[in-house]
Each structure stands twice: as C-alpha cells, then as structure tokens.
Structure 1
Amino acid sequence: MTRTITHSVTVGLDGSRESRAAAEWAAREAHLLGLPLKLVHVWEPVPEPMAQAPLLGAETQQHWTERIPRDAAEGIRLRHPGLGVLTEQLSGRPAEVLADEAKDAELLVLGSRGLSGIGGFFVGSVALAVVAHAERPVVLVRAGEQAADEHEMDPAGVPSAATAFRPVVLGLDIESPDEELIEFAFAAAARRGTSLRVVHGWNPPPYYAYGLSVDLELHGELARRETAALTEVLSRWRKKFPDIEVSEESHYGSPGSHLVDVSREASLVVVGRRIRRNPVGAHIGPVTHAVLHHSTAPVAVVPHH
C-alpha cells in the first residue's frame, strides 16, 4: 500500500505536561515552516483482564483517547490562529507507532520531562526508542519550555518572544560531515533569522596522545589543523546561506559537554545519529545521548547514513 505523505510537523501527544510543551513548540515550528500541525495520540491496548476493570473499561478508554487530542487541538487553534491542525488517534506500541508516523512527517516532536532542580531532560524509554529508530528528524522538548525561552533577553534582562531568537547550535563531526545534518541546522537558523554556532570536538591520534601534556607546540598544531578542517567543511554552506552569521568552535575533547554548556544560550541544539542497519540494532551515539539528557534547549536529532 502506498503511504500518504502529509508534509506536516507531527507531535506525539499523551496529555502529559511535557507532551503539551512539545505540542506548543511544534505549533510554533509548523508556523515557521508554513506546514500544518498533526497531533498524534497513541493508545496502547491493555490486557483483557485489566480492560474489564471499572476504571479501565471501554467507555473510559474511549473518553480519554478522544479527549486528549481534541482538547489540545482546540487550545492550539485558539493560540495559533490560521495554523492548520490535524488530529489522529492510533493504537499500538507508542514507540513503534510514532517511529512509523515520523516517516511521513517533516519532523516528529516529542516531550521529555525536565529534571527537578537541574537543567535538562529526563528522556523516557519511548522517546529514546523513537530517536533510535526514526529515519526522519526528531525534536525533544522539555516540560516547561516556553516560547520566550528560545529568545534573547529584553532590556529588563528577561527572555521575551518579542526579541531575536537565540542562536541555533550544531554539533558536527568533521570526519564524516553529513549534508542533511548541516543543511537542517542552517535552515533552522535561517527561518529563525538567527546565527548558527557550530561546535566540533576532537581528540589526537593515539600515537600523539603521550606527548600532548608536554608538547604545547604539537597540541597547537593539531588544534589549528582541526579548526582549518572545520572551516573547509562549512565553506560551501556559508555560500549557500550567505545571510547566516556562522561562528565556529573547535574544542579538544568530546563535544558532548561543550554542547551541553552552550545549550543554555541556544534556541535549538542540532545533533546527528548515524543510521545503522545491522543485527546489533539501532544505536544512539555517546555525544547525542549526553546532549539528549542534559541540554537545556530543545534538541533535534537528525538521522543520517
């Protein structure tokens, strides 16, 4: 059967605080993209004995299954007039259904709970499974994310939706730079009218490592090589997006901690995930994993080969 391509921003909705924040972020992104918003609620059938319990009967299940997307759609239509809002109710295992829904979407948006007292995410098993298997970009949005959080401070020192967007941050591996990943980040910065901050982390070859602590000249030479290589990778993208201000950062060590640090000043953090089709199964790399759990800004994971 041929699938119908919806060309929408799709959000997984379960009624939780984090999924409501994801839906609001997705509505704003759909507006920037000029696409409709699709709210998908996945109901996972419970075993028959549980389904017969008074609080889990068919009428109760149907009530909540219908109410969650309906209420969310009504609220979004009021707050985002003119935005096309679609709803869909599906059943099955949420991670599998949402990963399948991502195939037909411009991007899939999911919620993650903010860690109490700590900036960042608590990424649930469903979100991690979808990120690991989806072959379209997936954005994770923390609970409590507000439109103002993506913007610079106003004169009073408070984030405001009336000010410019904060930069988009891209974590880039220059040994295998993927065009889809780079273009996604540039395009995200372009539609926000903001700058792009590219962060690259590097480690020396094993045979250099021993002398790095004492040979500062060698360390400096390696750093210059990595910086030059990063500039070379980005050169044609600068030409393709001439209006985007690009800053380049090449750091010694894993980029994970650097990306988490700069996420505090970002509107969106963009990282990649290599698609692997092998018996070992799907995989989320250590850098992406760290960013997913600790970024204080929404995170876009772009799968690539």
Structure 2
Amino acid sequence: MLRTITVGLDGSRESRAAAEWAAREAKLRGLPLKIVHVWEPVPEPMAQAPLLGAETHQHWTERVPREAAEGIRLRHPGVEVRTEQVSGQPADALAEAAKSAELLVLGSRGLGGVGGFMVGSVGMAAIAHADRPVVLVRALEVAADEHEPDPVGVPSAATPFLPVVLGLDVEHPDGTLLEFAFDAARRRATPLRIVHGWNPPPYYAYGTPANPALYEALALADAEALTEAVRPWRQKYPDVEVVEESRNGSPAVHLVDAAREASLVVVGRRIRRSPFGAHIGHVTHAVLHHSAVPVAVVPHG
C-alpha cells in the first residue's frame, strides 16, 4: 500500500504551518498528503445546546480540513491531497494514523524569543507511541527558514536548503535513523551534518589529573568511531556531502547549536514497549524544546 505524508490538523496556526511543511515534504518524496482532523465527541450536555451542539461541531470539523486541503492544492500544485476525519482522543488517533504513513507531521507552539518549543501533551504522546517518524514544526511566525539566503540576504525557496543535521550516538548507530537522515539530505540536495557529543569517562572527569595526551586519545577514538559508523552510509549515498563533527560536551547542547543553521534536525527515539512514561530520551527532549527548525524523531530498536 502506498504510504502518505500525514499531518494532524486542528485549525491552529501551528498545525497550518505543519500542513505547509508536510505538503512540501510530500512533493519531495512524490507521495500523497493526508490531512487528518481529529475531533473529540461532544459531551451530552453540550450536544443539546443550539450553538454548541453536535450539528455545529460537525460543521466546523468538516470545514477545517476541507478549507485547508483547498488552500494546499492551490499553493502546491501536483501534490495529491486527501482528507480524513476521525473521532477520539487526539494522541491515540494520531498514533494510529501514523501506522499507514511514511511520516507524521504535527505543529508545535513556540514560547517566543529564546524559549523554544512547547510540544504539548498530544505531540509528546504521539512521538512516544508512534511507530513511524514524527516531525514537529513550529508556527510560521516563529520558525527558522530552511533555505540559505539569496544574494541580498533573504532566504527563499529558490535558494538551496540549509544542511540536514543528525544527532548520532556512535555506541548505538541505528540504521533506520541513518537511512532517514541520508535520504532527507539527498532529497534536499544539501549536506548532511552529523553531530556526536561525547564526554570523558567518570574516572577521567573526577579525580584523575588532567592529561592532555589522554584527552586527545579519547577525542581521536570517538572521531574514529563516528567515521566507522557512517562509512557504510557514505558508500550507499555517494552523492550526499557529509560533515562529521565529534565534540566534547553535551550532545543536546551541540545539536541545539547546530540547529541554528539547519533545514531539518533528525534525532532518534529508542522503542520501549512499556506503557508507562514518554520514552523520548533527554537529548531528543531537549532538541524538541529548543530547536526553531523542524525536528524529525525517528523510532528505532
């Protein structure tokens, strides 16, 4: 069955920004776009109210995805757009919709200036439980541009994409995560910047006298481990320019910093089957909350 780029739409400016990003991604991948509008059943007391009742609610739930689809068809000719309405809890419905999607796209509310994302309970739950990649997109007013500036300094869809940034743990370099990042960079015809953050082992950080030679050896070992993890993917995607960065310090800090000059940030989420907890990981959690560009969270084993 042909997969789709699926976007969750609730009519908010954040979800409209997500729908625009999803339409561009659908065009890059040559896939249909599915707009999923989730509505929660009207409680019985409200259903009896003439202005807030079931018929009024149904009118708005039908109007939101219909108007969004019409606008996207006009702005993104050639992209096949489908709509679907489902009833239930938004997080559960979106996680279910993701099963038949190439990826799920959701909007996230910005906190302004330097605050970063407020992902929200629905977005976090969908990320934690979806079996497919989930992309979080900020509202258009606060999102960073994905393209390089033109000669007069203005980013434009006519200029090349900024690099794709991948956060990679070289101790567990999952192929699903690497495949997603390399493919995203290839489709955008842009470099892939792979960032790995490392820290000295505890015995070195605490109690052991500073030893520059040992520090250099540790740095070299981590850089070599990164090169080895990436080597098969360089061979599989020879047309993708790769920049490897192995840095001492917090991986989250380095990724958030790299996101300032990126079109997309790709991070992983290890799949855990326990029903309790979000299971997102502290690095991914930090990037979700502080990156101004779209963030793709890729589940892997």
Q: TM-score, normalised by structure 2?
A: 0.96
Verify: 1:276 aligned to 2:272, yes or no.
yes
Letter of the structure 1 residue corresponding to residue 203 of structure 2:
Y
2:42, 2:53 within 8 Å by CA — same for their partners in 1?
no
Q: Give the corresponding residue for 1:230.
A: 226
Q: Which runs of 5+ in 1 are unaligned?
A: none
CA gap 1:117/1:232 in 2 versus in 1, 3 angstroms:
same
Coordinate RMSD, CA, aligned = 1.6
Residue 55 of structure 1 aligns to a residue whose secondary structure is coil
Residue 240 of structure 2 aligns to a residue whose secondary structure is coil
Equivalent pairs, count: 301
For structure 1, which segment, 96-105 or 247-256, has the greater mean C-alpha deviation from structure 2 after superposition? 247-256
Give 1:243-282 correspondences, 5 Å limit. 243-278=239-274, 280-282=276-278
Q: Which runs of 5+ in 2 are unaligned?
A: none
Verify: 1:18 aligned to 2:14, yes or no.
yes
2:110, 2:142 within 8 Å by CA — same for their partners in 1?
no
Give 1:150-161 correspondences, 5 Å limit. 150-161=146-157
Residue 56 of structure 1 aligns to a residue whose secondary structure is coil
Q: Give the corresponding residue for 1:49.
A: 45
Q: Give the corresponding residue for 1:115.
A: 111
Verify: 1:75 aligned to 2:71, yes or no.
yes
Q: In structure 1, how many angstroms separate the alpha carbons of the residues matched to 2:104 and 2:286?
A: 20
CA deviation string 1:161-185 (max 9, x = no partner): 1111000000000101100000000
1:275, 1:282 within 8 Å by CA — same for their partners in 2?
no
Q: In structure 2, how many angstroms separate the alpha carbons of the residues matched to 1:116 and 1:207?
A: 41
Letter of the structure 1 residue corresponding to residue 14 of structure 2:
E
Identity of aligned residues (%): 74
CA deviation string 1:237-272 (max 9, x = no partner): 111111111001111122111111111100000000
2:98, 2:131 within 8 Å by CA — same for their partners in 1?
yes
* Distance apart, 1:204 and its partner CA: 2.0
CA deviation string 1:47-80 (max 9, x = no partner): 2113323332112101111000000000000011
Q: In structure 2, how many angstroms separate the alpha carbons of the residues matched to 1:249 and 1:59?
A: 56
* Distance apart, 1:279 and its partner CA: 5.5
Q: In structure 2, how many angstroms separate the alpha carbons of the residues matched to 1:44 and 1:58?
A: 11
Q: Give the corresponding residue for 1:94.
A: 90
1:128 to 124, 141, 146: 124
* Distance apart, 1:207 and its partner CA: 2.0
2:65, 2:83 within 8 Å by CA — same for their partners in 1?
yes
CA gap 1:212/1:273 in 2 versus in 1, 3 angstroms:
farther
Verify: 1:303 aligned to 2:299, yes or no.
yes
Verify: 1:219 aligned to 2:215, yes or no.
yes
Q: In structure 2, how many angstroms separate the alpha carbons of the residues matched to 1:278 and 1:119?
A: 31
CA deviation string 1:20-51 (max 9, x = no partner): 00000000000000000000000011321133
* Distance apart, 1:144 and its partner CA: 1.0
Q: In structure 2, how many angstroms separate the alpha carbons of the residues matched to 1:195 and 1:78?
A: 31
For structure 1, which segment, 58-67 or 8-17, has the greater mean C-alpha deviation from structure 2 after superposition? 58-67
* Distance apart, 1:145 and its partner CA: 6.3
Residue 106 of structure 2 aligns to a residue whose secondary structure is strand
1:285 to 281, 284, 289: 281
* Distance apart, 1:99 and its partner CA: 0.3
Residue 175 of structure 1 aligns to a residue whose secondary structure is coil
Residue 106 of structure 1 aligns to a residue whose secondary structure is strand
Q: In structure 2, how many angstroms separate the alpha carbons of the residues matched to 1:21 and 1:280?
A: 31
Verify: 1:205 aligned to 2:194, yes or no.
no
Q: In structure 1, how many angstroms separate the alpha carbons of the residues matched to 2:217 and 2:156?
A: 43
CA gap 1:187/1:212 in 2 versus in 1, 3 angstroms:
farther
Letter of the structure 1 residue corresponding to residue 204 of structure 2:
Y
Q: TM-score, normalised by structure 1?
A: 0.95
1:144 to 140, 143, 147: 140
For structure 1, which segment, 113-122 or 80-89, has the greater mean C-alpha deviation from structure 2 after superposition? 113-122
Letter of the structure 2 residue corresponding to residue 184 of structure 1:
F
Residue 293 of structure 1 aligns to a residue whose secondary structure is helix
CA gap 1:88/1:52 in 2 versus in 1, 3 angstroms:
same
Verify: 1:27 aligned to 2:42, yes or no.
no
For structure 1, which segment, 102-111 or 252-261, has the greater mean C-alpha deviation from structure 2 after superposition? 252-261
Letter of the structure 2 residue corresponding to residue 203 of structure 1:
N
